[in-house]
Structure 1
Amino acid sequence: MRLPAFLSSKWALPGIAAGGLLVLIAAGKLASGPQHSEQQETPLPVEIQVLTVVEHEPSVSGHGIVKASVELQQIAEVAARVVWVSPALVQGAILAEGEVLVQLDDTDYQLAMDQALAQHKMVNAQQQELLSSEVNLGRRLELVSEKVVLAEKELTRRQQLAKQGSLSQSQLDVEQQKFIGLQQEQSSLEQQLDALPSHKQNLAAQLASAEATIAQQQRNIDRTRITMPVNGRIRSVSVEVDAFKAQGQVLFEAIGMEQVEIEAQFSLEKLRPFYQLAFDGQTISHLSLNELAEKLKNTGLRARISLPVAPGEHWQGKVVALREGLNPGSHTMGVVIHVDQPYGDIVPGQRPPLLAELQVDVELIGEVQPLVSVPLSALHSTASGQALFLAYPRANTKEDNSISHRLHKQLVTPKLLSGDHALFTAQQLQSLINDKAELVLSDIAPAIEGMALSAQQAELKPEMVLGE
């Protein structure tokens, strides 16, 4: 058997050896598996916001029911028949103070008034007669007193004559009787004059009684004319023409329009931190509700009221009191707020009046303070508590330029949750601000400590910086 020419040549053995070496090298590479290049870290794109101390109004939200500050029942103050009812007196009508609404029959009271006036006139006449009698009695007493003096002198003279025998006893007796008669007349006049003061007092009392009766009947007559007691709205009507109304029966109910009252309910766990901020860090945990309410009146605390059915419309209110104790059903605290002119600036279809029984949203607003405001969406719940996701500038300058920051999770406790923001004092976050940490606004899942970030500054909305 002949071998191929290649195998019989002098180059056969070296060629076979070289081929085997190449096969071994290729097999070694195949056995070692694929080769991996060094893995690169991919940063997560996020939006960030600078932590900034700004002037912010701390606030806390609650809800309440509107009721009128003035609620009244107009009753019949005298018993009488209804003779007229104003067409304007209907439920829901808005009426001005002083407008005449109901007229009761005043005939009986007019007759009683005429009788009292006649009595007054009669007593007046008696007083005038008494004054005239007093003058006449005084003059008569003066004349009689003079006659008594003269008669006494004449009697003394005649007694001297009788002793001398120049005058008979009978003539002396006549003169003596004359003197005694004048004395009796003088005494009678003096008694009549002495009795005059008591007569005057009696007539004065009768006159006062007549005047009181006149005043009383005039009040009764005035009470038959029923007017609107305040600027207000009619809640209900209970009167009709020809109906007899006894004294004390209700004619209509009305509510005032000058002011309304709202008892707003606030969660105590939110209210206490808010007060702490509103009072600029002063210790208030030891204060009673009365002391806290009194302290409220001396601060710039105000209330802003809004209606769910009228978005964008607000009414300003004034905090006047705190209710004693907690509401047993909702475990909230009541804050009493007054709102003036609840019917002012009404715009049909846009701004309604603050009517009684309406449910409203109430926001207590404190004085402007330097605070750090963080959107609630940037406050995260973790296994260890609430935390902010912060972006710290990268420390290693040799890293990929696409990595701008590294993630850090910072546990925090807000001073107050106000609307859709969490508020912190400058002292709470000052170290973060000094380290130039910035707030991560984007939602990160999962959030891994130290993960690479590619951060971009977010466009700040006004409400993210300043409270309204």
Structure 2
Amino acid sequence: MASPPVSSRGRRLRAGGHGSVHVSYLTTRMRRTSILQAIGPLLIIAAGVAAFVWLKSLRAPPETKPAVSKPPPVRTLVLAAPRRQFNIRIDGQVVPRREVTLSAEIAGRVVSRPDNVRGGRYVAQGTQLLQLDPGDYELQLRTIDLQVTGIDLDLQRLTTETAGIAGLVDIGRKNLELATNELERIESLLEKKTATPAERDRVKRSQLSARNALKTLENQQALLPIRRRQLLSQRQGLLAQQEQAQRDLRRTRITAPFDGILTRARVEVGDFVRPGDILVTIEEADVVEVACRLRSDDLHWLRDSLTSRDSPRDAGTLFEVPVTPATVTYRDARQAHEWAGRLTRFDGQGIDPNTRTIPCRVAVNRTHVPGANDAATTLMRGTYVTVTLPVSPKTTLIEIPNAAVRPNRQIWSVSDDRLVIHEVEVARVLPESILIRSDRVSLRPGDHVVVSPLKIAYDGMPVRPRPAKHPDNATTQQDRSP
């Protein structure tokens, strides 16, 4: 149904009513804004005052009695009995104790070499390694033998000649005696005018001939000892040549001088060698050495140790390393193997200028069987091992755990619930503790040392000691030199 029509006057009345409502709304909103602007600062000031009063009410009143301060608690350990033994552990490398280079002493061609003569093979003493051609030296020896035989024959002939000439000298003397007697008889007949001067001259010539023959035989007899000495001298010379030829013949056979391992074999069959050429190199098999290095303080403790076999009455021991039992340890993927050895000598080089350490040698038996069910283990050349040297110091040493060591070499102890500060000199550093000389510090076994930290510490400070759990490895770990 359609709405009734509105006249123009009605429309004007409706428009005038809406305008009055809008003006009234704006007036009311402006009044509210003015009231809020006037009251807002007063509300903020009131809130601040209320907060101040609330915070002031939270402040506690100051105490009228001073607070009681308690001594700080500390944890302490009791020092054990003096340390009787510690170990020096150093790293080393296995080297041969004796290595010999066999060189050719004569010239010759290699004619024989056993198949097992190769580098790395074990050979027993006396095993033939190489054979040089002995033909020339056998021929030379045979020639000298024949010359010696000829000299022996000459000596036998000289002996026969000596006996013959001695007989001829006797005959010559008798012949001279007869000629002399004949001359005397002719002289007597000549005085009686029964002989002629010609007969006397003939007898004189006979006497001179007999004397000359005797003199010749005597001279030959005197030369016989000289000829004998010449022959004997020649024979001695030939015997010397014979011995040299025999030695050269023996040198054609190269043998192992001791039980060992071949490290190098440089020649083959057919090679010609000259005197001085290197043939093979062999190292001793039974005993090896461990090349290691000691610090100066290590050497000091070894000389101070009861386990060292130094004789103070022998001045030579001052220049030698103390002979000390040692344990050589090698670790593989399965287990650790140990050998018993001994520290025997310096390496002869003095102190190394680069590392300031002292090179030493430890002798050890090369082969060791750890157990009946284990295979034999052999120390190979170049193996890296650990050498443990036991030290039983004559000097009394006190062991301090590392937890009790403070900066500036200080140790804190507790006596009568008060802190005592000690300045110590470290004699030996162990993995879990240090050792100090008992004659240079006032600490004694049974004293309580502090192992817990303190913010402030001074001598005589009151503390509350509490026992601390003793580390399990503080006394079981052994020394290890870096």
TM-score when scaled to structure 1? Answer: 0.74
SS of corresponding position for 1:433: coil
Aligned 8 A contact 1:66 1:263 in 2: yes
Are residues 1:415 and 2:443 paired?
A: no
Tell me how far 1:253 sits from its aligned partner.
0.8
Task: Check 1:345–1:47 CA distance in 2 against 1; reply closer, same or farther (3 A cut).
Answer: farther
Instruction: Show the 5 A alignment for 1:202-351.
Output: 202-268=230-296, 270-271=297-298, 274=301, 277-278=304-305, 294-295=317-318, 297=320, 301-309=324-332, 311=336, 313-321=338-346, 323-324=348-349, 326-329=351-354, 331-345=355-369
Tell me how far 1:136 sits from its aligned partner.
0.7
Aligned 8 A contact 1:158 1:172 in 2: yes
CA–CA distance in structure 2, aligned partners of residues 427 and 214 of structure 1: 75
CA–CA distance in structure 2, aligned partners of residues 466 and 325 of structure 1: 27
SS of corresponding position for 1:55: coil
1:154-175 Cα deviation digits (max 9, x unpaired): 2201221122122344443443
CA–CA distance in structure 1, aligned partners of residues 155 and 303 of structure 2: 76
Mark the runs of 5 or more structure 1 residues left unpaired by the alignment. 1-28, 281-290, 396-405
Task: Check 1:32–1:263 CA distance in 2 against 1; reply closer, same or farther (3 A cut).
Answer: closer
Q: Which residue of 2 aligns with 1:51?
A: 80
Letter in 2 for 1:341: N
Q: Which residue of 1 aligns with 2:448?
A: 438
Instruction: Show the 5 A alignment for 1:356-367.
Output: 356-367=381-392
Letter in 1 for 2:262: I
Whichever of the two has the greater Rg, that structure is 2
Task: Check 1:239–1:422 CA distance in 2 against 1; reply closer, same or farther (3 A cut).
Answer: same
Q: Which residue of 1 aligns with 2:106?
A: 78
Letter in 1 for 2:143: Q
SS of corresponding position for 2:444: helix
Name the % identity: 18
Task: Check 1:340–1:166 CA distance in 2 against 1; reply closer, same or farther (3 A cut).
Answer: farther
1:429-458 Cα deviation digits (max 9, x unpaired): 5x3337x423456xx456665554532563
Letter in 2 for 1:337: R
Are residues 1:121 and 2:116 paired?
A: no
Tell me how far 1:427 sits from its aligned partner.
2.4
Bigger mean CA offset, 233-242 vs 299-308: 299-308
CA–CA distance in structure 1, aligned partners of residues 433 and 316 of structure 2: 26
CA–CA distance in structure 2, aligned partners of residues 301 and 70 of structure 1: 21
CA–CA distance in structure 2, aligned partners of residues 379 and 267 of structure 1: 26
1:171-191 Cα deviation digits (max 9, x unpaired): 434433322221121011011
CA–CA distance in structure 2, aligned partners of residues 186 and 424 of structure 1: 106
Aligned 8 A contact 2:288 2:364 in 1: yes
1:293-341 Cα deviation digits (max 9, x unpaired): 8426485655444335463524322242365554343x22223224043
Alignment partner for residue 386 of structure 1, among 409, 412, 420? 409
Q: Which residue of 2 aligns with 1:10?
A: none
SS of corresponding position for 2:119: coil
Q: Which residue of 1 aligns with 2:174?
A: 146
Task: Check 1:62–1:340 CA distance in 2 against 1; reply closer, same or farther (3 A cut).
Answer: closer
CA–CA distance in structure 2, aligned partners of residues 314 and 375 of structure 1: 32
Task: Check 1:275–1:110 CA distance in 2 against 1; reply closer, same or farther (3 A cut).
Answer: closer
TM-score when scaled to structure 2? Answer: 0.72
Mark the runs of 5 or more structure 2 residues left unpaired by the alignment. 1-56, 308-313
Aligned 8 A contact 1:306 1:315 in 2: no
Task: Judging by fraction of residues, say which structure has more strand.
Answer: 1
1:91-127 Cα deviation digits (max 9, x unpaired): 1122222222111110110000110000000011001
Q: Which residue of 2 aligns with 1:16?
A: none
1:377-399 Cα deviation digits (max 9, x unpaired): 335342xx134454x3764xxxx
Aligned residues: 410
- The alignment's C-alpha RMSD in Å is 4.0
